[in-house]
Structure 1
Amino acid sequence: MTHNGHLRTATAQDSAALLRLWGLLFDEDADREGPWRSHAAKWFARFVDDRDDARFPVIEVDGVVVATAIGTLELGVPNPQCTKGRSVRLANVITMTEHRGHGYGTALVLDVLNWARSIDADRIDLSATAEGQRLYDKLGFTLTAAPRMKFIL
């Protein structure tokens, strides 16, 4: 990596910085409070030290977290596309605008890929924005035919 970017694993002390970055994913004001933030903070505190079920790489520049990603293990029914039923969900890949173009996103995704291999996962699933799809294509991810759907409770 260039420009003094240092890849490391997030710690509990990174919670506020990660919540600010996650807010940027949804075009939220970095300092605006919202109900999702308290839930996200509790979720992060629960999983930050769980190396078997979650991975939180960050890029730090001059002591400031400027990029992050999340990998979480999802257990499902084994099937032909996921023979052990162990998939990793890659999410919240974000780099602060002023730090983009230095390979931080690639480094974060590769970190989650290596972690997924280390925990014996079958595959990695993600939802990509049009902007992020170029990165995933370059790393060998393929577009699936199955549409993604959701139901809000």
Structure 2
Amino acid sequence: MRRLRTLAAAFGMLLASLAPALAVAPDEVLKDPVLEARARDLSAHLRCMVCQNQSIDDSDAPLAKDLRILVRERLVAGDSDEEVVDYLVSRYGEFVLLKPRFAWHTAILWFAPLVALLGGLAGLFLAIRKRSTRSGDAVREVPLTEEEEARLIELLDKGKS
């Protein structure tokens, strides 16, 4: 029983260590739970300009804190989620979005993985096709000429003696 409790505690600690550490300080949290939920959702989709691969919700950087506060101020002022995002994009550019919007100037971000996948599949198909053609050539029997056949018989007769 004691071993089971130890194992459960270790498993619980492992799960707790895998959860992302949220950087939102208690003094940033809004009193209205609906607005706070909206702020958290928005913060999870906005990039920290310092860390660059973390959301502002996960980052401890001072700029991320300023952005979290700015998001909450805009929500308290009555802005919709889209208005808050548009405000931040106008101020910091599209880079502030963890998931860029689909537009002509971002089309390469959306289609490059598909093009790379299709290119890889085409290359794989051509390599397999070329390999099967080569192996087919190696298996094909080519008849001997009369000179080669006579030389082979001569060599075989010498080997028997």
If the length of structure 2 is used for normalisation, what is the TM-score?
A: 0.29
If the length of structure 1 is used for normalisation, what is the TM-score?
A: 0.30
Q: Where is the helix percentage greater, Structure 1 or Structure 2?
A: 2
Q: Where is the strand percentage greater, Structure 1 or Structure 2?
A: 1
Structure possessing the higher relative contact order (Cα contacts under 8 Å, 6 or more residues apart): 1
Which structure has the bigger radius of gyration? Answer: 2
